Amino acid sequence: MSNAATKPRLKTSAMIASIAGDGQATRAAPFGNALVALARERSDVVGMTADLGKYTDLHIFAQAFPERYYQMGMAEQLLMGAAAGMAHEGALPFVTTYAVFAARRAYDFIHQAIAEDNLNVKIACALPGLTTGYGPSHQAAEDLALFRAMPNLTVIDPCDAVEIEQMVPAMAAHHGPVYARLLRGNVPVVLDEYDYRFELGKAKLLRDGADVLIISSGIMTMRALEVAKTLAHDRIDVGVLHVPTIKPLDTATILREARRSGRLVVVAENHTVIGGLGEAVAAVLLSHGVTPAFRQIGLPDAFLDAGALPTLHDRYGISTQAMADTVKTWLR
């Protein structure tokens, strides 16, 4: 019997399925619950969305603080303009939508109304990169490239539920606008095994390795850790450097780890290879004269297909097995 015949048939729900693996621990709505905890301590926190409260876990906040919840309708530009006004009046708005809508539809409003005035608006956006199978209209494969280019804006790409819970109060403590990628629903729990603490602007070496260093962000850190365990069976020693803050980039830690000789350096990201973490790291290395063997794992410079997420992750090389196979090929 072929491998294809033994695989379970994927249903339409796999287009929006959780990225958690079979049997992997998860936590429900970490962003919504963390925001509720923050709002209990800070009366200035408000939640704002554009008809996507249920789909960005902001409905948890709406249930706890209905008087501090603003549903702006399907109008993302209005959402960002209203958030700017709230910030001008002393509120601390946490704004949610899909990453495609913030990056493409409301970019100019974020740029002019929020970032130019360095306002204290926190934007958290679901469906980053390839975390939905609904095709290019919903896949924000280029959001990091766009938002890295915006002055005053801090950019975060969290790995799991643990980091999201820690990220929310850190976003509030930072003065100025923040864009954060958001994992919603039942979010994997990964970093609890590594005694992890999120620090804005800091990269963290989660595990060391003599043969390969994977520099990653977001869900690709989860995948990188899985790859490290997989390749250990082939006696390939893989280190993983997690870079949750895309801007400002922790250049000192990246340079320290990349300067170690004899290692292949691989940047893995759930984003197009154009303008994201990979190119940011490459620029840092070249500008400091650090030239290890360097490769990128990321999404292609193309409009991505629609379909089931497991199939698409295999197709575009960001599944655990696809990544492990690619790294082994590069080491030959």
Calculate mean pLDDT across residues 132-148: 97
pLDDT score at 12: 54
pLDDT band for position 14 (cuts 50, 70, 90): low
pLDDT score at 13: 54
Instruction: Tell me the pTM.
Output: 0.95
Per-residue pLDDT reduced to its tens digit, 25-64: 999 999 999 999 999 999 999 999 999 999 999 999 999 9
Q: What is the 3-state secondary structure (H, E, C) of 84-122?
A: HHHHHCCCEEEEEEEHHHHHHHCHHHHHHHHHCCCCCCE
Calculate mean pLDDT across residues 198-208: 98
- CA-derived radius of gyration, the chain: 19
* Pairwise CA distance, residues 78 & 71, whole Å: 11
pLDDT score at 22: 80
pLDDT score at 17: 59
Instruction: Inform me whether the pLDDT recorded for 223 exceeds 90.
Output: yes
Instruction: Inform me whether the pLDDT recorded for 9 exceeds 90.
Output: no
Look-up of token digits 């696809």: 322
Tokens at 289, concatenated = 């004269």
The Cα angle at residue 163 between residues 111 and 34, in degrees rounded to 5: 80
Calculate mean pLDDT across residues 70-79: 96
Calculate mean pLDDT across residues 68-82: 97
Instruction: Inform me whether the pLDDT recorded for 201 exceeds 80.
Output: yes
Question: What is the rounded average pLDDT for all residues in the chain?
Answer: 95
Instruction: Inform me whether the pLDDT recorded for 158 exceeds 60.
Output: yes
pLDDT score at 11: 59
Per-residue pLDDT reduced to its tens digit, 288-319: 999 999 999 999 999 999 999 999 999 999 99
pLDDT band for position 1 (cuts 50, 70, 90): very low
Closest CA to 158 of 122, 125, 120, 207: 125
The Cα angle at residue 307 between residues 299 and 29, in degrees rounded to 5: 80
Instruction: Inform me whether the pLDDT recorded for 94 exceeds 70.
Output: yes
Instruction: Inform me whether the pLDDT recorded for 87 exceeds 90.
Output: yes
